Structure 1
Amino acid sequence: MICNIFFIWFLLLSSLLFILSLNFMVFDYTMFLEYVLFNLNSTNVVMTILFDWMSLMFMSFVLFISSMVIFYSKEYMHGDLNLNRFILLVVLFVLSMVLLIISPNLISILLGWDGLGLVSYCLVIYYQNWKSYNAGMLTALSNRIGDVALLMSIAWMLNYGSWNYIFYLEFMKNDYIMQLISYLVVLAAMTKSAQIPFSSWLPAAMAAPTPVSSLVHSSTLVTAGVYLLIRFNFSLSENLMYVLLFVSSLTMFMSGMGANFEFDLKKIIALSTLSQLGLMLSILSLGEYKLAFFHLLIHALFKALLFMCAGNIIHNFGNCQDIRFMGGLVYLMPLTCTFMNICNLSLCGLPFLSGFYSKDLIVEVMSMNYLNLYIYLIFYFSIGLTVMYSFRLSYYLMLGNLNYLSLNNLNEENFTMLKGMMGLMIFVIFSGSLMMWLMFPSMYFICLSKIMKLMALIFIILGMFLGLEISKFSLSDSLKSLSCLNLSYFLAYMWNLPIISTLNVNYFPIYISNYYYKFVDHGWSEYFGSQNIYNKMKLLSQFNQFLFSNNLKIYLLMMVLWLILLLLLF
């Protein structure tokens, strides 16, 4: 019942906000709503809300995707005793994101930002086991670094007399304090969008139920950092943009390589999200914030659907996520496989699907504004890697024979889930061209040579071929060559980032504290402190007890000694 209520409300709100955003876009409106919370010594404490075409458009996408996810959850989480609690957590999550989107103020942004962090922790540990607890703690603690950076930027913003950052971005761009705030905001965005070295929490957060993954990794938690940087992009200095470009391009490359060696279905899609976040941040660092926003919206649609398809497959496989057990699904689950293929091809940037319009535009703009060879190569390599892992995934899922249990009951009778997926699928096909017409009314003129124009298509075809080839490579082959095995482990473990951010953070402090415990707590401090005092007092009391427990002879002897002592001294 609660699912249906929120599904209808979110869907209606999404439609209304989309129409409003088009209106704001056409007439170039921006609306500030201010609500006075209270007065203190003639100072107004005001809650400010910003409505412009960007915030309204993003809100409509978030609400549309969350409505489909809630509708989908009704069947996916069927049988869960706490379904209402789950739905309310998802709604809280969406409301936190909405608060973050409509805030031109760092304080209200922090409320939404921390709301996302807290509710994401509750959702990641929803299935209560050790793996979920570890993943939840890694997610929460990684995001705390960004929260602290945001708190510090709030403290520095006091110098301007207001926290409404939107008034100061361009005006104070060259001010030392504004540069410091922008550094802190970039750090916060890097933790939320899981850029190197904070990448390890994003695949770990896959411990959450699949509808949550669908929402988190498409339009809410991970895109919060990108959205914040889109808002702050006017204040970013050139050097900071270079640093962000280097980090995000490296993240894009690293996650693309890692996805080619991963066997967990959800983790492959999570690494794909990481790759796309790197793409968004790298084009944002090149100064094209509108293109980053365009790709953010389009990516949200096909990534949500990709997770829903994965959820349907996992649901039918009795919660098995290893792609090596799957195969031949095109005969058993044809509709899900159709949806998944459309999403995968959209992700690859195949011409005239939605992903093509944003991805191809990003790559062509990057090619036209030449920066250096490294950026040029890493962009094209990352496109090739995207196609590579997508086709490897398709090979494992759809071709070959089913490697699951002999007695299985794979069917596609989850009609509620399929309806939710169908709602998104229509937008995955048509939204690219539609959004391009709406967002870029004036034409982009991109002047490239024929080979550079065809470069993206060449890399897509090359990626398809390499993806099919790498899918035939198995771990048993790599055992013949130990160096090859080490390389595949190194790439699959995201360049050892999960080990660095978990074991290395814990191991050395615990190792040192063990020594401290032995030599200080149980060593010198014991000798000079409490234990030694206790031993001395015990010896004295034993001596006194010996004296007081004995007969009259001792007292007489002590009296004689006392008299002798008095005679000698006086």
Structure 2
Amino acid sequence: MNNLKYSICYISFFFLFMLSMVNFMMMIHFIMNNMVIFLEWEIISLNSTMIIMSILLDWMSLLFMMFVFLISSVVIYYSKSYMSSELNLSRFIILVLLFVSSMMLLIISPNIISILLGWDGLGLVSYLLVIYYQNLKSYNAGMLTALSNRIGDVLILMVVSWMLNYGSWNYIFYLEFMKNDWEMKMISSMIILAAMTKSAQIPFSSWLPAAMAAPTPVSALVHSSTLVTAGVYLLNRFNYLLVDTLPLKILLLMSGLTMFMAGISANYEFDLKKIIALSTLSQLGLMMSILSMGLPDLAFFHLLTHAMFKALLFMCAGVIIHLMSDMQDIRFMGGISIYIPLTSLCMNISNMALCGVPFLAGFYSKDLILEMVSFSNLNLMVFFLYYISTGLTMFYTIRLTMYLMVNDFNLISVYNLYDEDYIMLKSMFILLLMSVVSGSFLSWMVFSYPYMIYLPFNLKMMVIYVSLMGGLLGYLISNMMIHSMNKFIQTYNLSSFLSLMWFMPNLSTYGLSYYFLNFGQNLLKIMDMGWSEIYGGYGMMKIVKKYSIFHGVFEMNNLKIYLFSFILWMFFVLLMLMM
């Protein structure tokens, strides 16, 4: 049985890895020859409305598929060791493969119907993966994730019905010449809202840290390249429609605030996986905000580089949690670089890539994004949100490194830390290589021309200034050196507001979900089990039953009733004859 479940792991890993390589070769061929392939398969035609399965293969979809296949193959290989004590490992692998296939459907479809199928598939399988461990916390997190994502699903459904007016669901043909059409503006507003739910922008942010209830390999896949980036990818495809529209300006503000809020909350968090989840939320805010500034290629570039080091970061966190006997609180960790040097190396390099340390993957995208922000004519608030959020990224990364690598080890006195799980290490080293080199090779591939950005010296160095300041503050605060600042930062009211993501989880769970579910329960009592019981099928059944009993008495062949009815009938006949 063990051999069977491990063979499923190996076959899935090999198959997905080979698909990734094939996609890579195709993508290079497409870029070199400037090719796009558009395939259509008509499934059914009904009253001049055709349901068509369309596939769009261009450099963007192939490159994204290559990254998703690569990360999912590595994650499945990693799961062989991480989930080795799981009895139903094959069920877990099948769920992950379902997840990847839903993402594929979303990536290659220029058709809103097939996008809906992929979008719904992501929502459903993510719910199944979040509740995988089957405890109360998982169920609550799964329900929050499912309900938040349902909003996006409903909006995509509305887009499907609205696009019936155009005679086809192939939205890709309408993007250019229907920019000024008010219906297309409505559609684009719904698409933006749907993308905000899937990519967890304010006010839908609370589900993303809650989804950490899923197994760590799932977190590595979901929070790097699949579920949370689906919204960014969709907006990337719709970007022609969205330029200079009001919803996009609102998105810029919301995504900037998401970036800022997640950066602050990560500095108050002590759960290792939640810190990385909030870091993902911050980077998603960065992608959405640069997309809403009208730079989709740059957002896509950051999406790909971020996928590599974030998947690696989650994998390192998984190894550490395993070795700490499933302890996730960073206050109990410390000095692990002595005991598990290879995992610590991977962790530190992925953290440096996240901070944008020069010549690692994150540097090429983040530096370019911040320079383009400095180059644009945005207001001061957006400018500050970008740069303060960059400083906060450095802040929580240095704080995390101090707690994990530098401080004293605080767990139980008997512990067993070892760095010899070679299956996990091999899968981490593949992503380590990509975290180092992917930024430089993508910067040559994604941009057909180099960005030459000329800025004043201080503005050019602003990224380094805020990063150094954030790193210094992270070092000092994690060592408790600024006592007066610590006193201010850890006042109860302020710290509870900032650490609870501006009370957003409370609002989404107790506020919206609780009242909506309560309203649904009352509706069920009053309508389904109340009025519709009396005046619906049950009420009709009672009336018919009463009359049938009454009628049944006549049919009992009772002599008196029979004689009485016969006399009554004769009386009516005589009456009729006399008239």
Cα deviation, 1:29-79, whole Å, max 9, x if unaligned, reads: 111111222344676532110000000000000000000000000000001
Q: Which moved more, 1:91-100 or 1:41-50?
A: 41-50
Question: Corresponding residue for 1:279?
Answer: 286
CA contact (8 A) 2:50 2:168 kept: no
Pick one of 81, 86, 90 that aligns with 1:84: 90
Q: Give the alignment of 1:3-82 within 5 angstroms.
A: 3-40=9-46, 44-82=50-88
Cα deviation, 1:438-488, whole Å, max 9, x if unaligned, reads: 1123121211011111110111111110111222349x9999779712211
Deviation at 1:509, TM superposition (A): 6.0
Question: Corresponding residue for 2:370?
Answer: 363
CA contact (8 A) 2:489 2:495 kept: no
Question: Corresponding residue for 1:188?
Answer: 194
Deviation at 1:247, TM superposition (A): 0.5
Amino acid at match of 2:20: S
Question: Corresponding residue for 2:387?
Answer: 380
CA contact (8 A) 2:391 2:467 kept: yes
Change (3 A) 1:45 1:213: same
Q: Give, in whole Å, the separation in 2 of the partners of 1:377 and 1:411.
A: 43
CA contact (8 A) 2:398 2:471 kept: yes
Q: Give the alignment of 1:344-493 within 5 angstroms.
A: 344-473=351-480, 484-493=491-500
- SS of 1:434 mapped into structure 2: helix
Change (3 A) 1:369 1:333: same
Question: Corresponding residue for 1:263?
Answer: 270
Q: Give, in whole Å, the separation in 2 of the partners of 1:55 and 1:470.
A: 43
Cα deviation, 1:506-526, whole Å, max 9, x if unaligned, reads: 5556888999999999xxxxx
Q: Give, in whole Å, the separation in 2 of the partners of 1:5 and 1:512.
A: 48
Amino acid at match of 2:173: F
Amino acid at match of 2:234: L
Amino acid at match of 1:385: L
Change (3 A) 1:167 1:328: same
Question: Corresponding residue for 1:94?
Answer: 100
Aligned: 1:314 with 2:321: yes
CA contact (8 A) 1:478 1:484 kept: no
- SS of 1:38 mapped into structure 2: strand
Cα deviation, 1:253-274, whole Å, max 9, x if unaligned, reads: 0000000000000000000000
Question: Corresponding residue for 1:563?
Answer: none
CA contact (8 A) 2:243 2:294 kept: no
Change (3 A) 1:482 1:100: closer
Deviation at 1:202, TM superposition (A): 0.1
Question: Corresponding residue for 1:211?
Answer: 217
Change (3 A) 1:512 1:158: closer
CA contact (8 A) 2:141 2:213 kept: yes
Change (3 A) 1:37 1:304: same
Aligned: 1:304 with 2:311: yes
Change (3 A) 1:177 1:339: same
Question: Corresponding residue for 1:553?
Answer: none
Question: Corresponding residue for 2:173?
Answer: 167
- SS of 1:56 mapped into structure 2: helix
- SS of 1:35 mapped into structure 2: strand
Question: Corresponding residue for 1:562?
Answer: none
CA contact (8 A) 1:76 1:417 kept: yes
Amino acid at match of 2:311: A
- SS of 2:470 mapped into structure 1: helix
Aligned: 1:337 with 2:344: yes
Q: Give, in whole Å, the separation in 1 of the partners of 2:71 and 2:524.
A: 52
- SS of 1:133 mapped into structure 2: helix
Amino acid at match of 1:150: I
CA contact (8 A) 1:14 1:60 kept: yes
Q: Give, in whole Å, the separation in 2 of the partners of 1:76 and 1:136.
A: 22
- SS of 2:229 mapped into structure 1: helix
Q: Give, in whole Å, the separation in 1 of the partners of 2:85 and 2:418.
A: 18
- SS of 2:501 mapped into structure 1: coil
- SS of 2:44 mapped into structure 1: strand
CA contact (8 A) 1:149 1:188 kept: yes
Question: Corresponding residue for 1:199?
Answer: 205
Amino acid at match of 2:512: V
Question: Corresponding residue for 2:150?
Answer: 144
- SS of 1:157 mapped into structure 2: helix
- SS of 2:358 mapped into structure 1: coil
Change (3 A) 1:86 1:154: same
In the alignment, structure 2 segments of 5+ residues that lack a partner are 1-6, 529-579
Deviation at 1:26, TM superposition (A): 1.8
Deviation at 1:376, TM superposition (A): 1.0
- SS of 1:47 mapped into structure 2: strand
- SS of 2:491 mapped into structure 1: helix
Q: Give, in whole Å, the separation in 2 of the partners of 1:107 and 1:519.
A: 36
